[in-house]
Structure 1
């Protein structure tokens, strides 16, 4: 199995929505195709990948460093003992001559290609990625479905509380039981009114999570935490700068509810620093590392091993991103669940078209690879790479 071509495009994820920190009016994503000489059912095996929302397209890094390294590597050095692409060996080739630390945007570029390589490998084996992962790394055991929650509740011009609750009602009608909304972009009193309106709809605090997107300093996080505590929310997400571990540790001594964070940490080493120094509690808190943004699944497997060594269960991991790659990982490695974007970040958010959410859970299709071809709006973008 040889890589014969790699292609990439930049696709828009434009929207007028905003969280407490950024708006998405200029957001883009990289989409790649790794084309191989392996033929299955009369067609060459092609793996596809893209980066999650919140980080921009990586066309320069992909074209200047990471795609050429895969293409110029000794083809035999990228294969396992069966002659198939080995994601770990491909990862090592991509990271050749890269210094440690300073992970920055390169973790996103590598993550895009890593996703495509896993997609190609699973297709070459004629298996869904979730089944391949369960068989390789989890004793053959996979979950029958993944818990998912609907992420939304963004700010945009003119959006009032009535529109917010209408949005959340749509998510419930789609089959979700838990929803998440943005906070921190308006005054505390105004956000409390927004929260209480959604709570009146969903019925209990455990069904609502809130997300600050790293906007607060410690005094603000503590103030808002005191206000949020009585609601008994599902979690209080990214209340602080993601790299301020000491502030997280201080907050954890004062906020008894669940803290969720990690989506903006992009390596095993960063994740390790969080669990070593961030004061998070393995019995309740949630880790949201996104494999598409953090060097891919090869690195995510290292992160899971590290977490187990530090007393954390994979069930405390609920990846950010709302994409099919993380969904396959959540099912195959029995994580705690997966984010979902049912009505934002099209076409990248959401899952296969014929995989409905039933009582807050999604069952996986039995499709080779990650299953992008079963999501029509996303497949319409990806297949342009084959022209």
Structure 2
């Protein structure tokens, strides 16, 4: 059993939307295929992966560093103890040979993209949905029912409050009961008007989360906190720079409601520092670490160990990214749920065909691997790469 090729292509996921920090007009993503010598049901076993939105494609790093380290390794060194399957931890170690500690930047995205494809292949070789394989390995019961919320509310040319209200109404009509919108890309008074428009639209049918995408300095963060604490929000997300733990800790004094952050932290060491120094409150705050941006599931398991050591429940984790990999992790490892992009970043966002949101939850289909084969628009792009 061996990996015979790793292929990458950089694809555009451009859109005229923007948040408080970036616009997505030139956004790209890497799509990876890990080709094995195995077959199941007459098809070659190929694992697929891609990086989450908000970080650009990682083709250079994948092709110049990490791909060849796997392909040049002794194939037997990448297998589990009995040689019955690939070993994601050993493959991860091969990728990270000759890498200095620290520097958790773009390389964490490249490794996370390949890692996703490796786990997809492993679960397919085992002929299991990934969420069931993960639960089995952890000795826990998999729960195929996963909470999801609808992320949107971006700034868009010509988008007025009426369009924002219609967008949020469309999410409720599709079964969501938590929706999210962007703030920080307009003056506070304008954002307050936008928030009130959404709250008026959703009423008691749903809760609203707001996301500043790390835009605020302390003074602005406090000003927004004083405004936001008058509303029953689901959370106030990524208030300041992701590494400014002092700012995050200070916000607990000004904002009593739930806060969320972590999507732009790329290692278990970063996660540990956030929990040590960021003032996060385990009884109400949320953690948004995204495996596709942070060295993959192998590293995410280390992050969950950090949570255990510091007294946090993994139910406080609702990952960023809106992809099926995190859905499988949520179902298999008992996380609190997952982000969802009902209309954006297609074909990478969303669920397999036929999966519907009911009362803010989806039920995982019984598809081998991550389940990409169940999403027709996505698997067609993936198979083009693998062909």
TM range (shorter): over 0.9
Deviation at residue 263 of structure 1 after TM alignment: 0.2
Q: In the alignment, is the contact (CA less than 8 A) between 1:317 and 1:336 conserved in 2?
A: yes
> Which residue number corresponds to residue 237 of structure 1?
237
Instruction: Report deviation, 1:386.
Output: 2.0
- State the 1:230 CA deviation: 1.1
Distance 1:39 1:381 in 2: 20
Q: Secondary structure at the match of 1:25?
A: coil
List runs of 5+ in structure 1 lacking aligned partners: none
SS of equivalent to 1:47: strand
Give the C-alpha shift of residue 144 in structure 1.
3.3
- 1:320-339 to structure 2, matched below 5 A, reads 320-339=320-339
Pair 1:81-2:87 in alignment: no
How much does 1:38 deviate?
1.2
Q: Decide whether the 8 Å contact of 2:51 with 2:109 is kept in 1.
A: yes
Please show how residues 51-66 of structure 1 align to structure 2 within 5 Å: 51-66=51-66
Aligned to 1:210: 210
- Aligned to 1:93, what secondary structure does the other structure show? helix
Q: Which residue of 1 aligns with 2:47?
A: 47
For structure 2, which runs of at least 5 residues remain unmatched after alignment? none
Q: Is the 8 Å Cα contact of residues 199 and 205 (structure 1) preserved in structure 2?
A: no
Q: Determine the structure 2 residue equivalent to 1:281.
A: 281
Q: Tell me, in whole angstroms, the C-alpha distance in 2 between the residues paired with 1:129 and 1:327.
A: 10
Cα–Cα, structure 1 residues 56 and 120, in superposed 2: closer, same or farther, change >3 Å? Answer: same
Aligned partner of 2:162 in structure 1 is 162
| TM-score (ref. length: structure 1) | 0.98
Within 5 A, what are the aligned runs for 1:1-387?
Answer: 1-83=1-83, 84-137=85-138, 139-204=139-204, 207-387=207-387
Q: 2: CA distance between counterparts of 1:245 and 1:326?
A: 25
Paired with 1:3 and 1:224, the residues of 2 have a C-alpha distance of: 51
CA distance in 2, matches of 1:232, 1:359: 19
Q: How many residues get paired?
A: 386
Write out per-residue CA displacement over residues 36-86 of structure 1, whole angstroms, 9 at most, x where no aligned residue: 011211222100000000000000000000000000011111000231100
Query: Which runs of 4 or more aligned residues in structure 1 lie more than 6 Å from their structure 2 counterparts after TM superposition?
Result: none
- Determine if contact 1:77/1:89 at 8 Å carries over to the other structure: yes
